[in-house]
Structure 1
């Protein structure tokens, strides 16, 4: 993309407009989608209701923006005062007229390194006080002028290739000719949070793992390899001055003093972890410094409560990934929901969902805030949907567990350790509920989650010593053969913790959910369909084939009284084996006149 604010004709060459006549006007007036999740609660719910159960079947494309860059389009657009801001694959940014799709300006990002973690996806920008903020895969936090796209400041937060080891190459040689992707390279995927004059963002890539392609050329259907020893990185969240880009504070996920914790035999909610605690304690002295490379990626934007001054975020897996022998203890504060002081970054409380985690169950889906209805009355709460298949409710002030939903999947050998024979465990590392946002409707007290059902085989393997290279042990994680694999859109009553309804999807669900006051839930599929469900029953009322997998969360907004729904369709997975194509389109829908 090329930034060209003075030549609209050239900019419009990159845009396909399928314009409808000026349509029906929403009675509720124009409303923006000004931040990730719509606001700092991360609820992904809109009060707009011009598009509702009765008329959603008439939804049609209003305009389409083509980025010109195919694949990995996972961004959630932001709409402020009638202008839409969206980031693309490769961290480019575009500002569009939210009513027509006309390009106002574009920013072309020039990466300083090609060594990044995973595919070059970005999940969105933040807009505040005339600036557009983005955190990039090559380790930078930048601010752009919202009116022109001009670069205002550029802060290099980390170099992705710093701290790499030769272990990846050694293991790759032992695995033969299969293509390898991934290492502990730090960069950013999440949309930033802007609060108290700070731009807050955390790194991914800290939990060391190699991704090995399968015979079809895909990664999701291949395997994830976690290597014995200290070869990860230390995850962190940092706050930058919104005006200057200067770093104000940094919080590290791995705890320097006492990251072993209490050697918990169960999760905090009582599920057995099947740990060999005596063996871990015996190995603890040898691995006292494992926290220095202990992992803990941060995948999605924190929720923020201005009243308490707290931000809430989920942390990722410890390193080495899926291999716990060289990191004895609970590995604090990985695999946790944490609350930090927004002004200082100081830890207020944590809830570690899976101590000493070995299965890839990152706390990845963005937390969301709500007023929990408990027998003791209303409690200001934070909710977190987990890869293990539960939705947890916590007291915002203390972290006390208020309740946990029923399991939204069928567990199999949950928390059984990897073994040389291969251990089949459900869920696998892709979820139940991964990074995809969960929508929450306070009126119905329901959360709407994309839930993946599937299992993985966790196998401990060995690459024999060769020459000067020592023996390397690792855990390989691959799709479990013969186990059912499918997705459901599931509505969870957060009062009872039970599923109100659950609908099986035609393909894997992706991108996250959006709920509206019109009684609708929008959800994307990997095969390219965007679906509108009745929020009360789960019935599909409308669907549209967008031409490529839905990669990002849908949003809705209104301009001049007309309601729109927008979603990124660029391919939902970085696997070539999914069977579905990739694309480059932001598709925007509205009702016809």
Structure 2
């Protein structure tokens, strides 16, 4: 069912016109608060709140430490979702790739955007309270890959106490005062001049700022890619874990063959980790090795740990508890760093503590025992041809026929370098025990190349062909609902569409899943059936991380929109759906009419 209200669209157009002018903060007949009064009731975010977040808030990247992307709010539900109307909208401060993850606490929204701009908004009215613009260093124009990192900031803020914690593209941790946006302190973590940067945000856990560095596939950063912990008050480093050089694990060293640590690249943890406060364990996904092809990498048939793995780390010491490798011996940039979701299920009186993930671009779902790392099950979603089988003990076997033996030898690889699964996060609902995953059907050719490694640029050394649909497939887009239990994951329903999904998804206690696509449509699906109960076309591809919050008895739904690599990379598969030429980076905030909330 498609529900489009002309009144809603007119309100949206009017709101955008108003937002193009400077904000004026004054009382009005809509009872908008001034910025000063909006902050009057702001209280510190405590450790207890982080462990058990208030339902009305959205305190972290995926709502809670378990990364489920699930809200306990149910005021917007299957019965009334069709009545949603625009409450307010806000244009992002700067253009770039739309991967924002807004946070809300005590009626204040904190919004990060590209080039490390942070804004505080009144979450009821959309009025700007303050803006922080990070001063970035000048870099040479030839550093194209490194410059691109500033245009794809993901979930780069966290809340704790009366502070907003920001990780930056010049490899700093910057701590802002939540009430005024002024810098409380900052810490230079690693050297930006050699290529290190942050593209994902920190996790505040166990009294620490736990963060993961990026830039590990840039020429100057060989030998080290790190998950690190810093003191929450001073920024002093407490520990670091190197994802490509672990001297405590001989198997890890052997897995790189004859490649010494100083010639290793990759292993980037591209997505903010999850955390189990009971066991003080944090779980992070780790990305591909570099160079991408083993022919150039020099690692032979080694599995190149801990690339494409889940690592479980002790938050007190940073020591490895266990690891599991989802794709060994990657030759195709099919990295596996995406959201790790923590799920507890009671079956026959026994509590099963699981980690569930569609870890990588090939779209294979995995369930692991999160205390031991034991493999429980896996399930294929999109078409892929790189994994031939997974043994009962969890050993993943690759298709060796697709490993190039010479420079320029080309193979068609599915899924593509753009997924399959990409950064867009899935969500888990304890209402239905289902994991909802946005996916793309796509393939591309891959061939090793010989490339000079230059400052500020990646060491990938492969050539990718254009993205195409798998043979016989006409729909690029897929939202898969996976029925999760400790024994086996099975498909609950799937929703296929011509355009690809371009946003993460949000699950709610209202029985809904929200997400959107390259055709600019945000949708609400019924968690049980996959039926579309509401859809609204917006100004640009849906992006970032939809979320929800409650103020004064009203539930609000936040939908980011804007430029999307995920849309442009596979746009030729749905040429009848033209993409906007501008970035359009914005957030749209919906709520029910007063009488229905």
Common fold: TM-score over 0.5? yes
Residue of structure 1 equivalent to 2:177? 145
- Which of residues 285, 302, 313 is equivalent to 1:340? 313
Confirm or deny that 1:456 pairs with 2:488.
no
Residue of structure 1 equivalent to 2:148? 118
Equivalent residue runs for 1:42-441 within 5 Å = 42-114=67-139, 115=143, 116=146, 118-119=148-149, 120-124=151-155, 125-162=157-194, 185-208=195-218, 232=222, 234-257=224-247, 261=252, 284=257, 287-290=258-261, 292-324=263-295, 325-328=297-300, 329-372=302-345, 377-387=350-360, 388-404=362-378, 406-414=379-387, 415=399, 416-418=402-404, 420-441=408-429
* Alpha-carbon contact 2:276-2:282 (below 8 Å) kept: yes
Structure 1 residue 452, shift from structure 2 partner: 1.3
Tell me, what secondary structure is at the counterpart of 1:384? strand
Structure 1 residue 446, shift from structure 2 partner: 0.2
Structure 1 residue 411, shift from structure 2 partner: 2.3
* Alpha-carbon contact 1:11-1:103 (below 8 Å) kept: no
Change (3 A) 1:462 1:292: closer
Change (3 A) 1:482 1:445: closer
Confirm or deny that 1:478 pairs with 2:449.
no
Confirm or deny that 1:444 pairs with 2:432.
yes
Confirm or deny that 1:580 pairs with 2:576.
no
Equivalent residue runs for 1:26-37 within 5 Å = 31-37=56-62
Stretch deviating more after TM superposition (323-332 or 42-51)? 323-332
Tell me, what secondary structure is at the counterpart of 2:555? strand
Residue of structure 2 equivalent to 1:3? none
Tell me, what secondary structure is at the counterpart of 1:161? helix
- Which of residues 530, 548, 552 is equivalent to 1:556? 548
Tell me, what secondary structure is at the counterpart of 2:289? coil
Tell me, what secondary structure is at the counterpart of 1:95? strand
Structure 1 residue 22, shift from structure 2 partner: 8.8
Confirm or deny that 1:566 pairs with 2:558.
yes
Residue by residue, what CA displacement relative to the aligned partner does 1:273-302 show, whole Å, maximum 9, x if unpaired?
xxxxxxx9xxx4xx3414653321111111
Tell me, what secondary structure is at the counterpart of 1:90? coil
Change (3 A) 1:569 1:505: same
Residue by residue, what CA displacement relative to the aligned partner does 1:499-544 show, whole Å, maximum 9, x if unpaired?
1111113411122110011111001212322111111111111122
Q: Which structure has the higher relative contact order (CA within 8 Å, separation 6+)?
A: 1
Tell me, what secondary structure is at the counterpart of 2:536? strand
Residue by residue, what CA displacement relative to the aligned partner does 1:167-222 show, whole Å, maximum 9, x if unpaired?
xxxxxxxxxxxxxxxxxx3211112100122111111221359xxxxxxxxxxxxx
* Alpha-carbon contact 1:424-1:480 (below 8 Å) kept: no
Structure 2 spans left out of the alignment, 5+ residues: 1-17, 33-53, 388-398, 453-458, 572-577
Tell me, what secondary structure is at the counterpart of 1:379? strand
* Alpha-carbon contact 2:252-2:306 (below 8 Å) kept: no
Tell me, what secondary structure is at the counterpart of 1:479? coil
Q: Distance in 2 between matches of 1:397 and 1:422?
A: 41
Change (3 A) 1:560 1:360: same
Q: Distance in 2 between matches of 1:413 and 1:298?
A: 22
Structure 1 spans left out of the alignment, 5+ residues: 1-8, 24-28, 163-184, 210-229, 265-279, 465-471
Structure 1 residue 36, shift from structure 2 partner: 1.4
Tell me, what secondary structure is at the counterpart of 2:115? helix
Structure 1 residue 63, shift from structure 2 partner: 0.6
Structure 1 residue 158, shift from structure 2 partner: 2.0
- CA RMSD across the alignment: 3.0
Q: Distance in 2 between matches of 1:156 and 1:462?
A: 34
Tell me, what secondary structure is at the counterpart of 1:118? helix
* Alpha-carbon contact 2:223-2:262 (below 8 Å) kept: no
Structure 1 residue 368, shift from structure 2 partner: 0.9
